[in-house]
Structure 1
Amino acid sequence: MAPTATVDSTQSPSTRNIKVDLKANEFRLDMSNKRLGWLTATDPTLPIETLRGTLKKQGYLYLKGLLPVDKVLEQRRNFFKDYEGTGLLEAGTTTEQGIFSGHDPDAHADIQINFYHKTTASVYNFAKRDDFKEFCLQPTLINFLQKFFDEEPFLYNRKILRYNLPGEKQSTAVHIDRTFLRDASPNLVSAWIPLGPATVEMGSLMYLENSHKDGVDMEIEWSKVNSSLPPNEQINPYNVNMGEGGAIGKDAFSIAEKYDSRWLVADYEPGDVVLHTPYLIHSACQNQDPEKKIRLSTDLRYQPKRYVMATAIKSLLGY
């Protein structure tokens, strides 16, 4: 497909030309209208019943401008400040810009490559910082979730930060979050938050349209297959019955063909949040941004606190 292929969707009020051929883990995507579309944005101030209905119907809520932009960009600056002097950022640029130098960033000597993304010890340490914890529990987000759950939300302990460098061949594999969160509430929602801009060219997160129903069927089947395993292995996303890294696969092109569906993409802005069910199939493209901007994002999970309390009580009682 031509790099200027236009993604057209009846769900989007506008179209634009994508500047690159989209790839995920070196597999090219079909950029025709049959296989690619735009996420539907939702106003976070709509009545809560409307928002619940939209999540149930789509499997996601693309909430435009939910968070204060300054708080989002503050985390971007703080994150890349830890990388000053490592050669990761282009000389003369700011930490808020997050422009990749193009040089080998392995000067940290703590970089590990796993199935999903480039992670470093400093990434894990950042997730434990008090200011980042405050960001995850900021009133704007918690108050929204309080209304959405109709009870106090609980922030799941596992917090993920990802940065995707322009030119990397790896990208987030195709997966559902339930695979990694089998001990969590079925009512859990994942919050994907871009920490800065995250355009299509930067490899922003993409969702397989209407696939949350397929994800439920998938998890039911895995539960049957795993039923003979010990309890701790049944919830293990890397057990003997699962795919590499717990994922559905790396080839987003073939998976869209298999389900005869479209990958839905977006140009995310600071302040945007996507809430999605743990069963919605999603992935990401490689970062091919011509301006060499690094895509930085965080994955947070929230669930009703009542479920956590009930689980703890059952555990104490030996249920």
Structure 2
Amino acid sequence: MCRWIAYSGTPVLLSQVLFQPEHSLIDQSLHSRMGVETTNGDGFGVGWYPKDTATAEPAILRDVGPAWNDRNLREVAHHTRSGLFFGHIRASTGTAVQQSNCHPFRSGRWLWMHNGMISEFRRIRRDLALSVDPVLYPDIEGFTDSEVMFFLALTFGLADDPPGAVARMAGLVETAAKTHGIPHPLQMTVAVTDGERVWAFRYSSAGRSRSLYVSTKVDALRALHPDVSFLRELSDETRLVVSEPLGDLPGAWNEVPEASYGVVQPGGSVLHRFRPEYAEGTESPGGGA
């Protein structure tokens, strides 16, 4: 499937995170250790908030080629500094390799990216699409399950209650799949941000979700590794959420628990249990974690 990274903290050049680590996202595009595929070459995307304007509409760069040899990505990453950005490398689950299908997806100030899939999406795509707010529907540009998931979350109140909106989206997917006899339909690790906070979700209907990790608090890492110079340049609130660790620094990475979500925000990060939320009068399809 895909690999992604969400960074929040001290403004840095994008290249410091996307290219420089031992097992950077760019390295993962060729040599993923934990993904379904070793190679993730069906396009890439980067979304970032301009420095000192965190709540402005984010910029995005997306293309259909592999990330490892894209000169424009390298040029932008070595000259752009941001304190909050997303990076995504894509391995298609069946939809076309085209720019509009590359992550992250944007709506206003929001960015969204996803690793996973809706099983047999073609069979329930229409059902799901009809639940998208008609005002939002014209903004859907591509054909992926990931983008439909984003617009469902927007429809269900992402701007006011991100965890609740994602829970309602997941509940609708499972309910729609049940009506078509599709077991265990949802597989997702999702990151979404409004430019100030990052929400990261790990959930699958079968209870066997794709890998997801969050970095250890910087002050704790400094105590563990006082000789690592780059840690002294980062604020205590700097955190990364990644599909797989960017290196082997002892104590640096912590697995996000199954069926949970975390919030990276000023003042500290928090972790919560995640469960889909089903429409009133609708029974849980079962099979979730």
For normalisation by structure 2, the TM-score amounts to 0.31
Greater Cα radius of gyration, structure 1 or 2: 1
For normalisation by structure 1, the TM-score amounts to 0.29
Q: Identify the structure with bigger relative contact order (alpha carbons < 8 Å, sequence gap 6+).
A: 1
More helix by share: 1
